[in-house]
Amino acid sequence: MATYHPNSNTLLKSDSILEYVLETTVYPREHKRMRELRLATQQHAKGFMGSSPDQMQFFSVLLKAIGAKNTLEVGVFTGYSLLVTALAIPDDGKVVAIDRSREYYEVGRPVIVKAGVAHKVDFREGDGIAVLDQMLAADGEDGGAGGGFDFAYVDADKQRFSGTTSGCCGWCESAA
């Protein structure tokens, strides 16, 4: 049975199609630690803020297809999408993860450790825009990414961050 309300952030809006896709395609391919963190996130009082599993499966495919190694995530919550990214990138890859509070991230951190990908995570606590500005000021054009980012996911206050996605693109390597 589908666990995401059709008005959530899922890619699919039909309950019956969503349920079918989740049960036949997404959940059977889901990494066991992803499942563990997804279920923990759903139990959280603010679980509705979590990314949908169909989106995250798409992200995993996309990250692998583009050969992403260094990534940026603004808005971490429990780390569900962060875990997807860390599992998809190579062992020497990095995820710079920014969130205003470490509290929710600590829900998922033990699962990230169990998944064996904690060494890929560079968690930075603070306001996303302020941290991005600090990164840019500290390291110039590459924003402290050691050459830029291959992928950026901004899943934070959409109103405040609407101009930030353009700024993040300056740090991302061109796909051309």
The CATH number assigned to the domain holding 22 equals 3.40.50.150
Mutual angle of helices 102-114 and 32-43, in 10-degree steps: 150
| Residue 40 forms part of a structural domain | yes
What is the C-alpha to C-alpha distance for residues 153 and 123, in angstroms, rounded to an integer? 14
25 lies in some domain? yes
How many folded domains does the chain comprise?
A: 1
* Confidence at residue 159, expressed as pLDDT on a 0 to 100 scale: 67
In a domain, 64, yes or no: yes
pLDDT of residue 113: 98
**Within a domain: 116:** yes
Successive 10-residue mean pLDDT values, the chain, 176 residues: 49 78 83 89 76 87 96 92 97 96 94 98 92 77 64 79 56 50
pLDDT recorded at residue 5? 46
Residue-wise pLDDT tens digits, 75-126:
999 999 999 999 999 999 999 999 999 999 999 999 999 999 999 999 999 9
Interacting residues of 88 by C-beta distance below 8 A, sequence separation 6+ = 59, 60, 63, 64, 68
Range of the domain at 118: 15-169
Q: Taking all residues of the chain, what is their mean pLDDT, rounded to a whole number?
A: 81
Q: Is residue 22 part of a domain?
A: yes
Claim: this prediction has a pTM higher than 0.85: no
